[in-house]
Amino acid sequence: MTSTTSTTTFSALGVPYPLVEVLEAQGKTEAFPIQVDTLADTLAGRDVLGRGKTGSGKTLAFSIPMVARLGMRTGPARRPMKPLGLVLAPTRELATQILAVIEPMAEAYGLRAMTIFGGVSQGKQVQQLQRGVDIVVAAPGRLEDLMKQGFVSLDSVEVTVLDEADHMADLGFLPGVTRILKATPVRGQRMLFSATLDNGVDKLVKQFLHDPITHSVDEANSPVADMTHHVFELSGTDEKKRMITALASGSGRRILFMRTKHTAKKLAKQLTADGIPAVDLHGNLSQPARDRNLAAFGDGSVRVLVATDVAARGVHVDDIELVIHVDPPTEHKAYLHRSGRTARAGAAGDVVTLVLPEQRRDTADLLRKAAIRVQPQQVTAISPAVTRLIGDVAPRVAEHELPAVLKRQPEGGGSSQGANAQRKRANRSGQGGQGGQRSGQRSSQGGQRSSQRRTDVAPTRNAASGAAPAARSTDTSASAPARARQGSRRASAPSGGSSGGIRVGQVVRSNSTGGQRRGR
């Protein structure tokens, strides 16, 4: 089925009035093509396969029918650990963004929604489940963990959504996703959204969707029409550094994509030191740190986000005017999903790829696979093509004027409540002295006991080898049984190697009659 291009309101599509009110309060009055195409079927309870490019409005396309169905149901009341709606997402960021879309609509019907993902303590998640929730937005790994522990059951789920199924496949999540879907009722409504049907996604469709209706918006993985691509060829690394600073200095929101966590963290610090406040987003950050940095980027207190591909599908922030591939990705899908952070929801945006001489051939091949036709330009940081993209330059920010998110310590994010972390914090604050003294006392006492044991075993060692013990050692052996572990066959066995000698590793103990017992 092809997409519909005419303008249509949500109320005209049959969206219940309480949800229309919520959407209108958010300034959302006209549906996007994938919403127009799918809502009639999803609101009627049909299984749907939605295929569309990033930024096409898929989240609302499945959130509206899920909330509408659960909000108007007349079945049993909410029960602990038995959600009624389930959304599976590949990343924490995407799960958080989906919850932000669902929650206002869920509140209109008195429904509760929550996220489940790793990187945070499961305790609070378990508490929420035990109190009872209606909709769970989850990453597969943590959800499976909680299922195995008996903290959540999916046998009451009426609506299941699998979002970004192709990304799930890329990350190797499909076996877990399959097990999760098998735990949901066979006749529940299921919706699957994916840019492509490769890497096993087609098998999920055949196994779990019943007579699905397929809706597509443009071709899978197609570039966005309102997105302008630029390829800037640079002379070397010094010019690249100047270019990065120049492109980051504009007054609008922009995302800079890096290939590694280390370089993302380093670049964010460098830009901040240069008076351009920037936050980082990558896999090494704790979940509280990710949430804090994304919130600062979303509310405008920081206008530059430096990210790895972890953000390529999980960041849904409006009005990102520029995406910069500081490090070109290695795969064309990654290029399209990175680029899709701009020109969303019908807005226009620009995408810049910075290319060093040795990267030109690989970048040309990447763009060809992504179906991007663009003429590379050899530029510097002051070229007209660059200054046009920069636009108005924002004033530099001094260190004492930095937003609060950049003044927080430690940089790793949330405060761990583990015993080791608490002990370290106590030591740093001077409260760990007594523990250190006790540890030192134990160490000293242990050393004394060890020394005493070594003194005690000396006479036995001498006796075993036929030597006469010293007078001091004889006194010691008289007051306590001697015990020695022989460390050498040559030292402990009689000459000639007779079988009566003491074997390696054998323990020799004196008995009450002055003789010796052997044992292991």
Greater confidence (455 vs 120) lies with: 120
pLDDT above 80: residue 493: no
Domains 8-217 and 227-406 share a fold: yes
The dihedral over CA atoms of 317, 321, 322, 323, expressed in degrees to the nearest 10, equals 30
pLDDT for residue 3: 45
pLDDT above 70: residue 518: no
pLDDT for residue 340: 82
pLDDT above 50: residue 255: yes
| Confidence category of residue 6, pLDDT binned at 50, 70, 90 | low
Least confident of 16-25, 70-79, 95-104: 70-79
Tens of pLDDT, residue by residue over 129-155, are 999 999 999 999 999 999 999 999 999
- State how far the Cα of 273 lies from the Cα of 172, in Å rounded to an integer: 38
166-170, 193-197, 461-465, 502-506: range with highest mean pLDDT = 166-170
Tens of pLDDT, residue by residue over 323-378, are 999 999 998 888 988 888 886 656 778 999 999 999 999 999 999 999 999 999 99
Least confident of 19-33, 215-229, 254-268: 215-229
- Average pLDDT score over residue span 304-323: 83
pLDDT for residue 195: 74
Three-class DSSP category at 361: helix
Domain ranges of the chain: 8-217, 227-406, 458-519
What φ, ψ does residue 378 adopt, rounded to 5°?
-90, 115
pLDDT for residue 75: 78
pLDDT above 70: residue 280: yes
- Tell me how crowded residue 162 is: count the other CB atoms within 10 A of its CB: 27
- Contact 475/455 with Cβ under 8 angstroms? no
Q: What is the CATH number of domain 227-406?
A: 3.40.50.300
Instruction: Quote the CATH superfamily of domain 8-217.
Output: P-loop containing nucleotide triphosphate hydrolases (3.40.50.300)
pLDDT for residue 408: 56
Tens of pLDDT, residue by residue over 52-83, are 766 678 899 999 999 999 999 987 889 999 99
The residue whose two tokens read 């509206």 is 64
pLDDT for residue 457: 45
- Alpha carbon distances (Å) from 230 to 149, 241, 325, 403: 50, 18, 10, 31
